[in-house]
Structure 1
Amino acid sequence: MKPRTLGTVLDDREALAGFSRARVAMVLTNPNIHDNPIVYVNDAFERVTGYSRTAAIGRNCRFLQGSMTDDADVAKLRRAIEREEDVTVDILNYRASGEPFLNRLIIAPVKSDDGKCHYFIGIQKAMSDRDIDSSTLSIEKQLNAVQRRVRQDLSMLIDIIRDQSNRMGSEEGFAALARRIECLQLLYEEMRLSDRDAHRQGISMGSYLTRVANAIAHSDGRPGVAFSIEVGRFEADLETATRTGLILSEVLTNAFQHAFVGLDAGTVRMEVIALTEGGFRVVISDDGVGIPKDMPVPATQTLGGRIATELIDSLEGTLNYVRGAAGTVVIIDVPAGN
């Protein structure tokens, strides 16, 4: 199965500008669980609402409603969710402090290729007086641009996860998606930085991949394992950045989780360089236990291996594993034109 083509609805520059100017909060809910609870919120949601992730996850979004919330707005949202349709509404919500705020909310189903709705994504922006007085059509266009961008990225991942689950006879569900969402969230934050810097035409790959790598080292690293990064300065378009970041996430997570089993110390290194004839190379090396000789690489029987393989194929790049005298070297090459 080939991942769907990203960016067919939006060009990169529109997506970048839309995300930056909107400063949006993002929520994912799971309609396949009783009462369609929240399963993910981003940092912007916490800042806008005052509710922490732990306070929000597991609850239906209605907890943001209050005594002055319009029943007609609530009914409009409920109908759209029941019909698995997109909907936009300006709804009065309440922060954790009890302060009301007008929330421009766009909700859309996130479906796989077979048409099944796996999640609903909510993109929301607290409307200031200036927003209300300005062109609401412009704000809605920006929010819709973000919603389409995120929905495409998530749908791509869901299709790969679903396909792998069908092959292996298992269903990993949201647990398989959660870490990948965090990787995408770092990309969306980098999109904001890109839009602030007027001369930049795309995503700064050194900056973005460093942020992905540091996040993984923080969550999966352990005492005794050192991590070093060396990156060059170059840019790539949004589609290339999306897929490369996800590939890096799979490879680097695997290194931290499996390279040092039974060892007290070790080193993981990452190098990102622009290639002379265009494109770029990411090299991830470790001095750990190495890949067993009887294990095929990449391990497409695993979800991480399949995600990495399908994404590198979609970039027409290469993903090579080298068994060293000690440890493993993984080389990710992305050619020019991506």
Structure 2
Amino acid sequence: MERTIEKPKLTSILDDSQAFAGFSRLSVAMVITNPNSDDNPIVYINDAFERITGYQRSRVIGRNCRFLQGADTDPSALQMIRSAIEAGENVSVDILNYRATGEAFMNRLLISPIIDDTGKPIYFLGIQKELRDDEKDRSSDTTRRHLDLVCSRVGQDLGLIVASLVGETDGTAPVSDDALKRRLRMLDVLPGRLECLQFVYEEMKLADAQWNRDGIDLGSLLSRISHTIAHNEGRPGVRFVSLVEPLEVNLDTAIRVALITFELVSNAFQHAFDGLDQGYLELRVNRLAAGGLRMTISDDGVGIPRKLNFPSGESVGGRLVETLLDGLDATLNVVRGAAGTVIMIDVPVGFTDFKR
């Protein structure tokens, strides 16, 4: 008899009603800190962090996480965290924290470094889940293992983004002023990429819930991402159309294609129609007869200047797109028309059979 191996369900650590409903609504909070600035300040939190702790972003960004500590916080837990951060290592600990109201709560915390190409931590990712009274003593090992899996997955995906946005260093010379400026700019653009990952994890949650799904529905994923961008970036007079076939791919492919879509569609909305009152933007993704998929992003806007390389390694988004394309072994071609631009990307991926 053939043995059936069940996939681990990342959503099992969350409330059933909120499981991977999106980072902004997760019962798992996320925080990112910068160990290369004085006192390792917070540079990003998600909405769940605000909801669980009661602290608004304006009171959190730029501060060290110690404001969550209080009179009964275990000093040994704090020392574990300090030692791990100093060593640039992972740490997992249950710690008593305090909300903005002064109310104490038990927090299951995992911290993981996001490293650059030299192995030095650029940021630390913290994933934390409030433990209710009925969770403190039961299924501790299982909950921690699942939380660690989530932290590892998010850390890996963030590492891919951060490495591209920050750029490479040689590991010997001090970080240049340009590199520091890129890191500061990254803090402005990182939240959008995190929201893009949110959609991937939601589709992953759906695939977990459906026994006949072997991969992530790229059609649903890209449609949601592109229409969210259109809602956030669109303006009167610019019409957007998304035509995406239902294609099922593995998680890593879904993440890379999703991020490429985010970069290119956002870039088109931001730059393609400068000075124009009207425009048309289309995203089309379809399966190729010879295998793989083709993504086409076309507009009738002002067009990309002929002397400009695209994607440009000089820009934050351009470096990320180049890295993502290399990881997919994909090809990108740009056609500059009489009006507008057509960007065509071929990705040589295999598909699973899509079951409804």
Could you say what secondary structure the match of 1:172 adopts? helix
Question: 1:327 is matched with which residue?
Answer: 340
Normalising by structure 2, we get a TM-score of 0.82
Question: 1:76 is matched with which residue?
Answer: 80
8 Å CA contact 2:300–2:340 kept in 1: the answer is yes
1:1-338 alignment to 2 at 5 Å?
13-14=7-8, 17-19=9-11, 21-22=13-14, 23-163=27-167, 169-170=178-179, 171-176=181-186, 178=190, 179-337=192-350
Give the deviation of 1:307 after TM superposition. 1.9
Q: Partners of 2:223 and 2:49 in 1: how far apart?
A: 24
Q: Partners of 2:280 and 2:39 in 1: how far apart?
A: 45
Are the structure 2 counterparts of residues 159 and 95 from structure 1 closer, same or farther at C-alpha, using a change threshold of 3 Å? same
Gaps in structure 1 of 5+ consecutive residues: 1-10
Q: Partners of 1:168 and 1:229 in 2: how far apart?
A: 40
Deviates more, 1:68-77 or 1:231-240: 68-77
Q: How many residues align?
A: 326
Are the structure 2 counterparts of residues 168 and 27 from structure 1 closer, same or farther at C-alpha, using a change threshold of 3 Å? closer
8 Å CA contact 2:117–2:169 kept in 1: the answer is no
Q: Partners of 2:139 and 2:266 in 1: how far apart?
A: 44
8 Å CA contact 1:12–1:238 kept in 2: the answer is no
Could you say what secondary structure the match of 2:223 adopts? helix
Deviates more, 1:163-172 or 1:42-51: 163-172
Gaps in structure 2 of 5+ consecutive residues: 15-26, 171-175, 352-356
- CA RMSD in angstroms, aligned pairs only: 2.7
Q: Over residues 64-100 of structure 1, what are the superposed CA-to-partner deviations in whole Å (9 max), with x where a residue is unaligned? A: 2233322222222122222222111111122334432
Q: Structure 1 counterpart of 2:208, which letter?
A: D
Q: Partners of 1:97 and 1:190 in 2: how far apart?
A: 35
Identity percentage over the alignment?
50
Q: Structure 2 counterpart of 1:182, which letter?
A: E
Q: Partners of 1:306 and 1:98 in 2: how far apart?
A: 44
Q: Partners of 1:47 and 1:192 in 2: how far apart?
A: 22
Q: Partners of 1:223 and 1:330 in 2: how far apart?
A: 23
Question: 1:5 is matched with which residue?
Answer: none
Q: Partners of 2:279 and 2:132 in 1: how far apart?
A: 51
8 Å CA contact 1:101–1:127 kept in 2: the answer is yes
Are the structure 2 counterparts of residues 204 and 98 from structure 1 closer, same or farther at C-alpha, using a change threshold of 3 Å? farther
Higher normalized contact order (CA 8 Å, seq sep 6+, divided by chain length): 1
Give the deviation of 1:312 after TM superposition. 1.3
Q: Partners of 2:202 and 2:98 in 1: how far apart?
A: 25
Could you say what secondary structure the match of 1:28 adopts? strand
